[in-house]
Structure 1
Amino acid sequence: MGGAEPPFISSISFAQQPGGRQAPPPAVVVEKIEVQQVSTPVQFTGRVEAIEAVDIRARVTGFLHSVDFNGGQAVKAGETLFEIEPDQLNALVASARAQVARAEATRISAERSLARNRDLFARRTISQAALDEVQAAFDVAAADVQVAQASLTTAELNLSYARITAPISGNIGRATFTTGNLVGSDSGALARIVGLDTVRVAFAVTEGLLVTIRQQEASGSNVDPSMLKLSLRLANGTDYDTPGRIEFIENEIDPQTGTVAARAVFPNPRHILLPGQFVTLYVREKDAPRLPVVPQTAVLQDREGRFVYLLGKSNTVSQRRIDTGARVDNGWAVTIGLSGGEQVVVQGIQRLVEGMTVQPSQGQPVGDGQ
């Protein structure tokens, strides 16, 4: 158990007021024992990562006609981000269409010529060699049509690339090029989109903890990820209010660090978590036992063990022996001796003896902690 040990009580003395008059009952502060879900969390330092992130690049070369977003804004998949001047690409499409029409006309002429020559061959007017030449001319014309159609498809595809859209939904950064700049496939990223609705938290599991988990699994006590409660504490000391889940744990130990990389997934609907941000990850059992929690300041210790003073009827106090378990924030879980609802003395405790009358005032109950 962590934390400071309770004070060791050896002897207590009491003073009387001058003249032999009895001193008034000592003033004490009491708190009501609360029953809480108690589990000892395992703590990790984690770093937030994006699950989806895309660098936006140009597929065709041309001058930027427009930039249709502001840096930092949210964008949806399919939304237009950039437009490249399409005039040259439109011209290439028109040229490709003309080539298709020309090739198709040549193919039709070759097909008619082939039909006539087949009829002549059937009448034995031309030789087989002459027919073969006409057949070859038709085959070339038909192939030229396919080549022209493929060129048209490529030209139309390049024209479609003049309008650059968002492949995923997320938050987009600043544009690295402004309107009027020449961009192309070698220009690098024009902008970057990061999906923030769901993020990962990367953390490292120590080798010792991993061995413990594997031993539990080997003995038949499998660790069910669905039975774990994952929570985060942010850099400003506040708690992130949306729970997460374990996504995966690597199957190899890093020999340099002696740890195993792991990932947890957290919903991030309000975009509080940002990639690169450091957080504290707490992992605990969901169905942890519920136990009474006593404030640390209420616990004393002597040779027989730990005890507290309970407030009873007529404002008298009595000792109660307890066994403590895990630390819970500024208190201890009690496994034996308390059931919850009792009033324990948390201040003025060093002056008390069994059966003493006191003047109690109410303090604040011990709260839940990480």
Structure 2
Amino acid sequence: MLKHLFEKNQSGKFIFLSVLTLALTACGQKDVAPKKAPAPAVSVYQLKSEKVGSYREFVARTEAYKEANLRARVEGELLERNFREGSVVNKGQVLLRIDPAEFNTALASAKADLSSRKSALDNAIRNLKRAKDLIGDGYISQSDFDRLTTEESQAKSAVESAQAAVKKAELDLSYTTIVAPFTGSIGKVNYDIGNIIGPNSNVLATLTITDPIYVSFQVEESVYVSYLQTHQKSNNAANVAIDLALRLPNNSAYPEKGRLDFADTKIDQGMGTVELRAEFPNADGIILPGLFVTLIAESTIKSDMVLVPQAAVQEGQQGKFVLVVDDNSLVKQRPVELGRRINAMWAVEKGLQDGEDVIVEGLQKVRPGVEIKAVMKTVDAITGVITDASAPAPKS
């Protein structure tokens, strides 16, 4: 009968199928509930606080501890070079030699002249002695006696002049041998063997001592005066002492600490600054004279400050901020005020607390108010490398 009804009424067929479809769909909706999207996994870092002091950075220039420009003091042909450029030479070591032939001849001539002058002096002394014996008996006149006295005096002066000439000739001969005035590193030689060099020539080579190394920098007059006032009021040197560190041109931290060595006695009127100089150990010779470096002066009086990885810091129209994960695994945006940068970390002056979790990886996956799955990470404070918190520490 049902079949007959379907054949008789085609429109009824479609109505029945529609009702059946709706019934089946309703049953499916009751049986299958919609799935919730999983919380995105992001890397988080738990903040820690450290002792941090107030600090300043200065553009500085390195200088050799001691430097000598070797020059020729006499003219002649350069005959010898007895060192390797860039090597260390010892005090008193013969470095360069100028042709001494001309100066040996001049010395021999000066010595011969001195010998002749001495003979003339001996003769003048004998003549004057005889004159003294005879003038009392009237055998010679007073004018002859005065003449002999003058000759004896002139002969003495001639001997003294000849002795000075010998000394000068000996000195000129010694200048043909150039020796190291101190032990140090010697640089490039600017003249080859066979060149004629002399007092008007450029520097032959430069000898330096670079351990320790000097670092010169300038401080504003107001800052320097404040430092002096603090130093005078304090009886404890630790209250005014500062830690000095260097950041090299390749942005790496120099491992050695320095100390203040010198402060100029006047203010540069044009710049309104005073020049200071620090001294750093340089046993490995990493720092060369003439480098531009960053000198970091940090107070020894320090306070606890939270350090946040640079990877966690973002910047928007309202300033810098980080994404914090609360106890309910929800993301919150937190504005921060940052202080100094310490390697791969920022010192936080305001906005974060010790123990809070901040997102360091996966920032693009989340937004404020979203629930996340936190994966704890560690951050190398020096390099900024992010690793799993459960991973073993790297071997030194």
Superposition TM-score, scaled by structure 1 size: 0.72
Distance 1:363 1:236, change over 3 A: same
1:215 deviation in Å? 4.5
Q: SS of 1:264's equivalent?
A: strand
Q: Structure 1 residue aligned with 2:225, among 199, 210, 214?
A: 214
Q: Corresponding residue for 1:56?
A: 70
Q: Which runs of 5+ in 1 are unaligned?
A: 1-17, 299-305, 318-322
Q: Corresponding residue for 2:391?
A: none
Q: Corresponding residue for 1:90?
A: 104
Q: Corresponding residue for 2:146?
A: 132
Identity across the alignment (%): 30
1:185-209 Cα shifts (integer Å, max 9, x gaps): 122222222332233333343x4xx
Distance 1:294 1:334, change over 3 A: farther
Q: Corresponding residue for 1:267?
A: 281
Distance 1:152 1:234, change over 3 A: same
Distance 1:269 1:254, change over 3 A: farther
Write the distance in 2 (CA, Å) between the matches of 1:147 and 1:78: 31
The answer on 1:251 being equivalent to 2:263 is: no
Q: Which runs of 5+ in 2 are unaligned?
A: 1-31, 314-321, 331-335, 360-365, 384-396
- Structure number with larger C-alpha Rg: 2
Q: Structure 2 residue aligned with 1:41, among 50, 55, 58?
A: 55
Q: Structure 1 residue aligned with 2:124, among 102, 110, 131?
A: 110
Please list, as runs of the form range in 1=range in 2, the aligned pairs for 1:178-327 lying within 5 A after superposition: 178-205=192-219, 207=220, 210-215=221-226, 217-218=228-229, 227-246=241-260, 247-249=262-264, 251-253=266-268, 255=270, 259-291=273-305, 293=307, 326=339
Superposition TM-score, scaled by structure 2 size: 0.67
Which has the higher relative contact order, 1 or 2, with Cα contacts under 8 A spaced 6 or more apart?
Answer: 1
1:156 deviation in Å? 0.6
Distance 1:176 1:221, change over 3 A: same
Q: Corresponding residue for 2:358?
A: 346
Distance 1:239 1:325, change over 3 A: closer
Tell me if structure 1 keeps the 8 A contact 2:65–2:211. no
Tell me if structure 1 keeps the 8 A contact 2:80–2:98. yes
1:215-268 Cα shifts (integer Å, max 9, x gaps): 46557657979711111111212111122233225633454x565544333332
Tell me if structure 2 keeps the 8 A contact 1:293–1:334. no
Q: Corresponding residue for 2:12?
A: none
- Structure 1 vs Structure 2 CA RMSD: 4.2
Aligned-partner residue type, residue 251 of structure 1: K
Aligned-partner residue type, residue 214 of structure 1: V
Distance 1:216 1:118, change over 3 A: closer
1:334 deviation in Å? 7.8
Aligned-partner residue type, residue 367 of structure 1: A
